[in-house]
Chains A and B, each alone.
Chain A
């Protein structure tokens, strides 16, 4: 039986998480609880950030955790660490939900989008105001305005490139390029990969 950690105790990392996923893949409920506690904070955090509505966020975050349970056998350690895998699922689900919700209120979109033009820098501001997020803040600051705005609108608000281009009044191809450039710079600043 796995040791059950308190929710905010030292989280399992690296290989420990991979071992947990391997156990979850064969139906180990105790391992799933440990994994749940290790990743649910970031999962709920990013889902809530994208959705803004705590009730919807809880629903989607739970879906994400069930997806992790369901697809654990498909996780491949040689293709990336556990947390990015889980958070990719989480972000994808959150964005899908946002787009679905927005599609059902399509006629309001234009007006809402207009107000978000002025809101995008607040998104960055909110990140910046949190001490424990120093590193991300530092690296986001290292981006050009267009890189940062493109990435934060897409990642934190679930905007597509096309919507970002409309919001920023920039050519679509420029937005796509800036997203990639921005991520390269962010990757290097955060020391991700090689």
Chain B
């Protein structure tokens, strides 16, 4: 197709009306045609006016559903594309943005991605064909909690431990690094809670429970609040959505942070190691961290 022919496709492209081969040909053309890129951006803004004229109140329930869903939905990091350096209007970037797609230039994913995907963090993403993007999200820097979590996973001395939740539904994984003095928690398909409840994480400081963060939802990754500071374990209880100062219920998950056993870089090992951890509120005496946590009064772990 000749260049003048391609030039005429801007309108159809902005209206998402091109067949796939033509769309690709036009996007290749956009890279070299600054005028086309500007025209397409203007057309997108024009069509947005048509869309805005259609504004209709959305079903009210959709808002809370959406807000609940983002708790466990990983965000993509900023595009790590050299074209970004070329400043405003870089047409290839514009084309990608208009299509709502992303660059796929990042290096192969490492432990962070593989562990996260194994643990099911990715399973909640909306695009099933988007695994690479999710994996990329796991490997990028300090733009989000998930990214910090991923950074923790790459610590040379990172350890992981996985356990099945009480009742056998879902599992959790704790990742910790003594050198970073940090710990993180990955949830995968934990039993759903009402909107007024949340999973609360606790550090075990020699028998005293120290609040370490809240997880609203059944899936997700979070960096635990506060330093590891030699904590001997991590526990998870169900608490009011705003959190409690002390555990008020039987833990659904317990993780001794011992250095033997599960090692990072081997998710399958971590999974096996999970069986060492008490899967229910009935705790074996060997579960050091759990000896005090189940007390409903919950003044100590």
List chain A positions with a Cβ less than 8 A from chain B: 7-8, 25-27, 29, 32-33, 36-37, 40-46, 48-49, 54, 58, 61-63, 65-67, 69-76, 78-81, 83-85, 87-93, 95, 127, 130, 132-133, 135-136, 151, 154-156, 158-162, 164, 173, 175-177, 179-184, 186-187, 190, 192-194
Contact = CB atoms under 8 A, between A and B. Distances in A.
Nearest to A186: B46
A36 B89 contact: no
Contact of A190 (B19, B46, B56, B67): B46
A74 B83 CA distance: 13
24 contacts: A27-B75, A33-B63, A41-B56, A42-B55, A44-B55, A58-B58, A67-B100, A70-B76, A71-B102, A73-B77, A79-B88, A81-B45, A83-B48, A88-B44, A155-B50, A179-B12, A183-B10, A183-B11, A183-B15, A190-B49, A192-B45, A192-B49, A193-B41, A193-B42
Top 9 nearest A-B pairs by Cβ distance?
Answer: A180-B11, A45-B54, A46-B51, A179-B11, A44-B58, A84-B48, A78-B88, A154-B17, A45-B56
Given A25-B143, A190-B46, A71 B18 contact: no
B16 interface: yes
A133 B48 contact: no
B17 A161 contact: yes
B16 A92 contact: yes
B78 A80 contact: no
B70 A32 contact: yes
Contacts of A81: 45, 48
B99 interface: yes
Given A71-B76, A180-B10, A78 B89 contact: yes
Contacts of B43: 183, 187
Interface string B185-226: 000000000000000000000000000000000000000000
A72 B75 contact: yes
A187 B79 contact: no
Nearest to B38: A193
Contacts of B77: 73
A14 to B, nearest CB: 13
Given A40-B62, A78-B89, 10 more contacts: A42-B52, A49-B54, A58-B62, A65-B66, A72-B75, A88-B98, A127-B53, A135-B49, A154-B17, A173-B8
Nearest to A178: B11
Interface in B1-58: 5, 8-12, 14-19, 22, 41-58
Given A62-B66, A73-B78, A43 B42 contact: no
B67 A70 contact: no
Contacts of B97: 74-76, 79-80, 85
Nearest to B42: A193
B76 A90 contact: no
Contacts of A74: 76, 78-79, 97, 102
Interface in B75-113: 75-79, 84, 87-89, 93-94, 97-100, 102
Given A42-B54, A74-B79, A87 B48 contact: yes
Contacts of A89: 100
Interface residues of B, number: 63
Contacts of A80: 41, 44-45, 97
A192 B42 contact: yes
Interface string B139-171: 000011100000000000000000000000000
B221 to A, nearest CB: 12
A51 B118 CA distance: 36
A41 B48 CA distance: 12
B240 to A, nearest CB: 18
B89 A79 contact: yes
A179 B39 CA distance: 13
A169 B42 CA distance: 29
Contacts of B51: 42, 45-46, 49, 87, 90-91
Contacts of A44: 55-59, 62
B73 interface: yes
A61 B126 contact: no
A29 B50 contact: no
Contacts of A41: 55-58
Nearest to B61: A58
Nearest to A182: B11
Contacts of A42: 48, 51-52, 54-55
B65 interface: yes
B144 to A, nearest CB: 5
B70 A84 contact: no
